[in-house]
Amino acid sequence: MPAFDRHIFICTNKRPPENPRGCCDATGLGQLQLEFKKKLAQFGLKNRVRANKAGCLDQCEHGPNVVVYPEGVWYGNVTAEDVAEIVESHIINGVPVSRLQLKPECINTPSCEHRTKPE
Ligand code: FES
């Protein structure tokens, strides 16, 4: 079997509701990852593209977060309704979904305006 063309990492980290950073999967059910798996299977891509559960990707304030490698394209506030568009536009046609992409100045940036400040 050939190597995977892409990996999609979907944060499935769950935190208690009182945590100030929030989390990407408040239900802990991993529904977003399952939706990616389902959509990849529908397009016959499950042997070429892997939808992996990920722990916290440290961009919590923008969650639910997804990152696609090898391109390193980050998506934030992703819902199940966005999955088909990401798969069709980005994974199949190579065009990232710009409306869902995190701004470069937000990724791994402690001064990001969205990041919860320590008390
Ligand atoms: S909980 Fe998902 S990025 Fe931190």
Q: Please tell me the pTM assigned to this model.
A: 0.93
76 Cα–ligand 1 center, Å: 10
Is 13 touching ligand 1 by the criterion CB < 6 Å? Answer: yes
Is 59 touching ligand 1 by the criterion CB < 6 Å? Answer: yes
For β-strands 73-75 and 49-54, DSSP reports them as unpaired
Fold category of 6-103 in CATH: Glutaredoxin (3.40.30)
At 110, is the pLDDT very low, low, confident or very high (cuts 50, 70, 90)?
Answer: confident
Helix, strand, coil tally for the chain in percent (to 5): 30, 15, 55
- Is 46's pLDDT higher than 80? yes
- Is 58's pLDDT higher than 60? yes
- Which atom of ligand 1 is nearest to 11's Cα? 2
- DSSP, res 101: B
- Is 119's pLDDT higher than 80? no
Question: For the chain, what percent of residues have pLDDT higher than 90?
Answer: 86
Contact indicator for 4, 49 with CB cutoff of 8 Å? yes
